[in-house]
Structure 1
C-alpha cells in the first residue's frame, strides 16, 4: 500500500466551514477511483494549507490520479500549485473494521 499526502499553500486563509464546502464539492471526484481505499481532506489550523491524505493500493494507481489534469484542477480550484509526497505503507490499523491490514 501507498500513502500519498498532497498539500498546497492557499493564496489566502479559509475557514473550516469554507474548506468543508469546497471539499464536499470535490469529494465525488474520488468515489470509485481505482485503487483508492480512503481519502482524508486536511486543513491547517491557520487555514493557509490544505490537501489530502490518501491510502492507495499501489503507487501506480496513485500516480494515475495525480496527472497534469489533476494539477490543473487544483490550480484552478485553489489558485496554487499542489505537491505530492509518497510513503510506503506496509501496515494499517483500521478501527472501523477492527482489522490490521498488511500489503504482504
Structure 2
C-alpha cells in the first residue's frame, strides 16, 4: 500500500468552514475511486495550507489519478499547484475497525 500526502499553499488563508465547504464539494469524486482506500482532507491551523492524505492500494492507482485532470481541477479549486509526497505503508492499524492490523503482502 502507498500513502500520499498532498499539500498546496493557499494564496489567502481559508477558514475551517470554507475549507469544509470546498472539501465536501469535491468528496463525491473520490467515492469508489479505483485503488483509493481512504482519503483525509487536511487544513493547517493557520489556514494557509490545505490538501489530503490518501491511502492507495498501489502507486499505479495513485499515479493514474494524479497524472490526469486532477492536477488542473485542484489548482483551479485552490489556486495552487499540489506538492505530492510518497510513502510506503507496509502496516496499518485501524482502530475504527476494532484494531485491525493490515500488512502489505
Task: Please list every run of at least 4 consecutive aligned residues from structure 1 whose deviation after the TM superposition is greater than 3 angstroms.
Answer: none
CA separation in 1, counterparts of 2:2 and 2:32? 17
Unaligned stretches of 5+ residues in structure 1:
none
* Equivalent position of 2:18 in the other structure: 18
Tell me the matched-pair count. Answer: 104
2:101 corresponds to: 100
How far, CA to CA, are the matches of 1:45 and 1:13 in structure 2?
10
* Alignment correspondent of 1:90: 90
Aligned residues: CA RMSD: 0.7
- For the pair 1:79 / 2:79, whether they are aligned, the reply is yes
Gaps of at least 5 residues in structure 2 are none
Q: Distance in 2 between matches of 1:62 and 1:68?
A: 10
What is the TM-score with the length of structure 2 in the denominator? 0.96
